[in-house]
Structure 1
Amino acid sequence: MNESFRAIPSVDTVLRSSAGQAAAERFGHGETIARIRDLLEEERAAARQGSRLRDPEALGALALGELEAGWRSSLGPVFNLTGTVLHTNLGRALLADAAVEAAVAAMRAPVALEYDLDAGRRGERDDHLRALICDLTGAEDATVVNNNAAAVLLTLNTLAGHGGGVVVSRGELVEIGGAFRMPDIMAQAGARLIEVGTTNRTHEKDYRAALEGEGVALLLKVHTSNYRIEGFTSAVAATTLAKLARAAGTPLVNDLGSGTLVDLARWGIRREPTVREAVAEGCDLVTFSGDKLLGGPQAGFIVGRRDLIAAINRNPMKRALRVDKLRMAALEATLRLYRDPDRLAERLPALRLLTRSRDEIAALARRLQPAVATALGPAYRVSAADCASQIGSGALPLDMLASAGLALHATDGSGTTLERLASALRRLPVPVIGRIADNALVLDLRCLEDEAAFIANLDGLSDAGLI
């Protein structure tokens, strides 16, 4: 045993190994030494048990590998093969190259975020987007905040924040992901909810009666983008509500949720009301997201009447909800793409993925099938299969997109084996995330564009002994 202990290298010897030096160079002297000391404690325990010891180079390589694993970001990229294009849990919209480049440029140097270069004095950060947004939507004015929930909160707090009544149809009291409920956000904003109509039917007379009550601060219309009520239903059009609101001297706010700036029908996707249409219908304010159908970074827009936007910008909450220079730069670059709608589907990743044809995706599945089957081995059967994608993030919840992918079946028919495979794929260098359905692990390929990187990534299954 004494001989075994004498064979254990010193900290300095391991540190001077090629891997040890590489670890110190990348992660610092202190962290590398601390990890080497932990490994040498393991060697002493192995020596007491008479186990085989490792040489300095092997220990240095272990230290390097463990340091690399510890420094790997939990926000690293993944392969989204879930079939949900705008996946909230996976970061929603991918940014266009122009938006990424703009954000990187803003990170690398000071920018005139709140500085007016012409006047040589403090400016407003909204100025970078105001003209663009107004041009694309037809609104008088615009402001931007952290997300659409913030846009709704800030609007309600500004216009009805001291117990003012907010009239909204019961059929539009939505709940979105993360238990965000419209009545709750209304309460947090200091507004008083006035429900009208029923879950499935609300009429003009219901709004008219509510407007005759005391303390009504605004009418709120909520676009039900994350669910749909069908059958025996009735809702009041925004144009009708606008006339009622105008006659009562009460603002009409339209929360479009995952708002879009273009008619998606030109690309074969069921049309959603555009922001320009909502403004033209007479809505005084319109709120919508930047990272859903618009295809940009997380943001919430408020557009509409100049006097109401000015009041919102004077609200002290606006500072707490504003966006930073990175998202401001990415938003500006994204919005500029909409000035050339004929090339939008080529340049905007979200739209490119949503409009990808089933035939193109099916051809990709056929190309990948042999490589995936080889990587998984005989424990799994891999076949190309048709499937259906969804837009995601609450947008067009009942609309499915014809897609294709790979269906992975366990040859022993075990659901446990499938779960084990799903776990192994999530532990790859670039995690692969699919969905289990109909006794198969389905990899929907709609969002896979780099097939070479995907195939190379599968080598990690055998390298790490994951299967």
Structure 2
Amino acid sequence: MNTPEASMVHGLKAGPKDLPALDRLLKQVPELLSRHGHQFVAGVARSLLDDLRSRALAGTLALAELQPPVLAQRLSECCAERLAPRMRAVINLTGTVLHTNLGRALLADAALTHVMAMMAGPNNLEFDLTTGGRGDRDSMVEELLCEITGAEAATVVNNNAAAVLLSIAALAGGREVIVSRGELVEIGGAFRMPDVMAAAGARLVEVGTTNRTHPADYERAINAGTAMLMKVHTSNYAIQGFTSAVDEATLAPIAHAKGLPLVTDLGSGSLVDLAQWGLPREPLPQEMLKAGCDVVTFSGDKLLGGPQAGLIVGSKAQIQRIRKFPMKRALRMSKLPLAALEATLRLYLRPERLTRDLPTLRLLTRPLADIQRLAGEMRVPMAEALSPRYRVQVQAMQGQIGSGSLPVASLPSCGLVVTPILSGKKGLGQALDELARALRGLPVPVLGRIHEDQLWLDLRCLERAADLLTQLPGLSQALRG
């Protein structure tokens, strides 16, 4: 701003008395008032003036910042910042496909379309269109879950931790649950299986040792106070070496001989055999049911590739007990994730199309050659954007599935490795942090990982190169600024 007025105030400090009154400031922004309304703009303006007053008292406020055009622009920016959503889309270049901190599974187009349609108007969430009477929201997905898994009945809640909690509370509240000591897992957020047992009102009985448990261990532990036997799939860690565990097919007769249900928690359970695409195999709910399990719980937003949900399938008698338990209402799914879950499950009716229609499987099975080709195409534009401060190279990488699924498995991948150009080690960490911060500050933030004094950008999850390439001018400007 090269006006005479601006030249006069350049370099001068402002005092509290130089600040305009609220009414005077608002008169300078009629367009903002028209767009957002008086109440909102006035509230933002008060906060802005309070901040400027504090800086004036501290002697850090320049008089030039209070010029009407400058102040009006700042107020407009503050309004935009206040209205900007906290939850934002990001570009996941971390190498972890199902990243817990980044929302886990991406929804399929069919799920997004169905959610939008169901949110746009009334729907039959709890209305039976055949009888004209009250319906059950579980009916939206129960038939699909039974068809896919072979279960007699099914119900759903808001996540798998809730599914485990509800199943234990409904089937074993006030009584004992027998679990192998080697299966007392802890999942994200320090949520431990023993704590779940306590919260559900059940008493945990540990059998076996950390690395070895035998059928006789379960048999000896059963008594008049036992309510059920439980298996927990250790999907987020692996014990190797001198180990022994009792599988569901062996444990089911032991439970049923005593009139007890067998419950198994698969955690990130998949509905299809991943081995057909060269991925490590995970146990399937349908296999657990055939082995004799009465109840099987698993997640909706991990390997299944849908929204956050806890799926409970099993015998009609046990599912009915779970469904009628009072806690069920507190843990039920709302219409939005339920619509997404229904649409996702329908994709499994056409299994040959899953690697095309389901983003989770599409990304997990993405050909390495495609990722390598993408890395080659992006290296030069990325290098030009980061020159002369950083060097960019194509690098083979090992990613992972994530979210506690298949912890020792890796996914061969490819990406870009960015290295600061420095004369020595000094300033290396600062240069990497600056680059990572600039990438996070883009309109669509880009997230990689710092590894071996370099920034690694794994391209497995980048399906549209333009999502990153169109932001490179902004990245260059941020690094120059």
Shift of 1:177: 0.8
Shift of 1:423: 1.9
**Structure 1 residues 298-352: Cα deviation after superposition (integer angstroms, max 9, x where no partner):** 0001100101111111111000000000111100000000000111111111111
Residue 432 of structure 2 aligns with which residue? 418
Residue 185 of structure 2 aligns with which residue? 174
Residue 230 of structure 2 aligns with which residue? 220
Task: Label 1:54 to 1:314 Cα distance change in 2 as closer, same or farther (>3 A).
Answer: same
Give the unaligned 5+ runs of structure 1.
none
The reply on whether 1:160 has 2:180 as its aligned counterpart is: no
Residue 329 of structure 1 aligns with which residue? 339
Q: CA RMSD in A?
A: 2.6
Shift of 1:186: 0.4
**Structure 1 residues 378-416: Cα deviation after superposition (integer angstroms, max 9, x where no partner):** 111111111111000000011100001111111124122
Q: Is the 8 A contact 2:438 2:479 kept in 1?
A: no
Q: Distance in 2 between matches of 1:405 and 1:218?
A: 48
Residue 444 of structure 1 aligns with which residue? 458
Task: Label 1:445 to 1:282 Cα distance change in 2 as closer, same or farther (>3 A).
Answer: same
Q: Is the 8 A contact 2:438 2:478 kept in 1?
A: no
- Which is further off, 406-415 or 284-293? 406-415
**Structure 1 residues 215-266: Cα deviation after superposition (integer angstroms, max 9, x where no partner):** 1110101111111111111111211101111111110001111011111111
Residue 201 of structure 2 aligns with which residue? 190
State how 1:78-97 maps to structure 2 within 5 Å: 78-97=90-109
Shift of 1:123: 1.1
How many residues are treated as equivalent by the alignment?
462
**Structure 1 residues 112-169: Cα deviation after superposition (integer angstroms, max 9, x where no partner):** 111111111111100111110000000000000011100000000011111x111111
**Structure 1 residues 414-442: Cα deviation after superposition (integer angstroms, max 9, x where no partner):** 12221222122212221111111111011
Residue 64 of structure 1 aligns with which residue? 76
Could you tell me which of 112, 117, 128 is aligned with 2:124?
Answer: 112
Task: Label 1:281 to 1:155 Cα distance change in 2 as closer, same or farther (>3 A).
Answer: same
Task: Label 1:273 to 1:466 Cα distance change in 2 as closer, same or farther (>3 A).
Answer: farther
State how 1:186-265 maps to structure 2 within 5 Å: 186-211=197-222, 213-265=223-275
Give the unaligned 5+ runs of structure 2.
none
- Aligned-residue sequence identity (percent) comes to 54
Question: Given residue 228 of structure 1, which amino acid in structure 2 is its aligned partner?
Answer: A
Q: Is the 8 A contact 2:65 2:71 kept in 1?
A: no
Q: Secondary structure at the match of 1:206?
A: helix
Q: Is the 8 A contact 1:36 1:59 kept in 2?
A: no
**Structure 1 residues 161-213: Cα deviation after superposition (integer angstroms, max 9, x where no partner):** 11x111111111111111011111001111111111111111111111112x2
- Which is further off, 91-100 or 454-463? 454-463
**Please, what TM-score do these two structures have when normalized by structure 2?**
0.90
Q: Is the 8 A contact 1:141 1:305 kept in 2?
A: yes
Residue 285 of structure 1 aligns with which residue? 295
Q: Is the 8 A contact 2:392 2:418 kept in 1?
A: yes
Residue 355 of structure 2 aligns with which residue? 345
Residue 447 of structure 2 aligns with which residue? 433
Shift of 1:50: 7.5
Q: Is the 8 A contact 2:197 2:203 kept in 1?
A: yes
**Structure 1 residues 69-128: Cα deviation after superposition (integer angstroms, max 9, x where no partner):** 222212111111111100011110000011111111121111111111111111110011
Shift of 1:462: 4.3
The reply on whether 1:375 has 2:389 as its aligned counterpart is: no
Task: Label 1:369 to 1:10 Cα distance change in 2 as closer, same or farther (>3 A).
Answer: farther
Q: Distance in 1 between matches of 2:349 and 2:330?
A: 31
State how 1:10-159 maps to structure 2 within 5 Å: 20-36=29-45, 42=52, 51-52=63-64, 56-159=68-171
- Which is further off, 300-309 or 55-64? 55-64
